[in-house]
């Protein structure tokens, strides 16, 4: 429910499409809820894509690191984000995705992801 705080934070999500622990749908939702994030889905990979395809994993991480500027921390900007929260217009994806993200944000039970 705090994914909007990643607004200017560089985020690279890497997910296996056969993850039986945290389904790939969660990766799509996280990506939609994190403005500016990058999502790479590893076809045929499970919960540990770095084990299933270590060379591709390394390439994705290296590319992210070489093409992404680090966040310059701005305490006042973070304060404003915490106060304002998130609006539906900031969530990517189609209407169904936005509703799923908003539903997840409103859930009483919070997950570690």
Q: What is the pLDDT of residue 70?
A: 92
Q: Which two tokens stand for residue 46?
A: 């499970």
Does residue 90 lie in a domain region? yes
CATH of the domain at 8: 3.40.50.1820
Q: What is the pLDDT of residues 47-106, one digit of tens each?
A: 999 999 999 999 999 999 999 999 898 999 888 888 877 666 667 667 776 777 777 666
Q: Which domain holds residue 81?
A: 3-106
Overall number of domains in the chain:
1
Does residue 35 lie in a domain region? yes
Q: What is the pLDDT of residue 112?
A: 46
Q: pTM of the predicted model, to two decimals?
A: 0.73
- The residues near 112 (Cβ < 8 Å, ≥ 6 apart) are none
Does residue 48 lie in a domain region? yes
How far apart are alpha carbons 18 and 47 in whole angstroms? 7
The pLDDT confidence band at residue 113, using thresholds 50, 70 and 90, is very low
Q: Which two tokens stand for residue 7?
A: 């607004």
Does residue 14 lie in a domain region? yes
């Amino acid at each position: 429910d705090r994914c909007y705080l990643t607004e200017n934070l560089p985020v690279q999500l890497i997910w296996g499409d056969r993850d039986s622990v945290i389904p790939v749908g969660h990766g799509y939702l996280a990506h939609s809820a994190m403005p500016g994030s990058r999502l790479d889905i590893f076809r045929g990979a499970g919960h540990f894509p770095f084990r299933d395809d270590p060379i591709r994993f390394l390439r994705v991480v290296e590319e992210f690191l070489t093409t992404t500027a680090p966040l310059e921390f701005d305490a006042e900007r973070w304060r404003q984000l915490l106060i304002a929260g998130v609006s539906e217009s900031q969530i990517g994806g189609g209407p169904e995705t936005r509703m799923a993200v908003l539903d997840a944000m409103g859930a009483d039970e919070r997950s570690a992801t």
